[in-house]
Amino acid sequence: MNAQPHVIVGLSGGVDSGVAACLLSRQGYRVTGLNIKVLDEPDHEPVLVHSQLRVSDHHEFDFPVFTLNLSGRFRREVIGYFHDAYLAGRTPNPCMVCNKTVKWFGLFEAVHLLGADLVATGHYARTSVTDGRHHLYKGIDPQKDQSYFLWMLNRHEISRTLFPLGGYTKPEVREMARSFGVLAAEKKESQEICFVPHDDYCSYLENALPGLSDRVADGEIVDQSGRVVGRHRGYPFYTIGQRRGLGISTGEPAYVTEIDAARNRIVVGPKPALECRALRAEGLNWIGIEPPAEPFEASAKIRYRDRESRCTVEPQNDGSAIVSFSEPKSAVAAGQAVVFYRGDELLGGGMISGVVKRSKN
């Protein structure tokens, strides 16, 4: 690697990625920005195009920026996945999948096309190298740590990725944005899925999949014993743990505890029925450890804002794992990710495929 490593920084237009780019430039890296387009008309092949996007109003940070149109890939890998997950009765996490299949794909495509050395993003996470192996860690700001969304990255990708913001808190990043003259310094953060207007996924699915509502309308709502207690508008429009909008009266608060896509059926029950102590995870990816052959203990989260819980991970012969928790977890949803930690280090993760009901005997 030369004396001035060339790094491709993913620019989203937000404050975090802007500060990451400026910080790396200030640290002596040769910075090139990359803005990935995902909602344009798709191109047949990824082509880098010079962009007029500027990160800062300070001339010190006048580095080149390119755009890369990956809209076709985004529609296949992210929007297609989003549709398929809901049609299968699962709850997708499109931002997590986009990181792996679109953002890092695009960043390394730019590395190849521009002859760069490294990539970087504004995610709040950290890496380190021990005995020649790269490890991934939480960001130091517990309110902003984004390591959960990165479990799908492989070791090669981690080894060539910089996370300049992982050692800072969000207020510190805001202050740096002002001092660097970052144009997005006061921009508010968006919590919405970029392709779902107003964060209303039900209306989005109805419009994106014509005829869906008619195909799935008027399914059964059943209680824990299988007794029909009402009718629903279609299983894709419900999520595990949902209470509002069920349109039924059972004499006590009822929550969606199961989604049966094959029979277009929603199962409801009292809040305790949402709890479980074990789940199955598939599509496992390991970063901090070798693929385990024996059970081991860790901490795990089943969604981004979940509180970590102690667990035992039991590898299965089919490549999946049974994850047993020391305390009950509520509203475990197939399609979400379970991510494993040891202290601040992210060990790996997998996609939740369902709840495991242990025998009481």
Q: Which residues are tagged catalytic? A: 98, 194
Residues 6+ apart with CB under 8 A from 258: 240, 266, 267
Residues 6+ apart with CB under 8 A from 205: 83, 86, 212, 236, 237
Strand partners, 328: none
The helix (H) or strand (E) run that includes residue 208 is helix 201-208
Read off the DSSP letter of residue 12. -
Nearest to 33 by CA among 53, 16, 5: 53
Q: CA angle, 337 as apex, 141 and 350 as ends, to 5°?
A: 110
What string of DSSP letters covers 224-266? TTS-EEEEES-GGG--TT--TT-----SS--EEEEEETTTTEE
The C-alpha atoms of residue 112 and residue 110 are separated, in whole angstroms, by 5
Q: How many helices (H) and strands (E) does the chain have?
A: 9, 18
Nearest to 106 by CA among 36, 51, 153, 40: 36
Nearest to 4 by CA among 36, 28, 39, 40: 28
The C-alpha atoms of residue 104 and residue 73 are separated, in whole angstroms, by 12
Q: Work out whether strand 345-355 and strand 337-342 pair parallel, antiparallel, or are unpaired.
A: antiparallel
Phi-psi region of 283 (alpha: psi -120 to 50; beta: other; left: phi over 0): left
The C-alpha atoms of residue 198 and residue 122 are separated, in whole angstroms, by 24
The C-alpha atoms of residue 100 and residue 233 are separated, in whole angstroms, by 33
Token readout for 330 is 């509520």
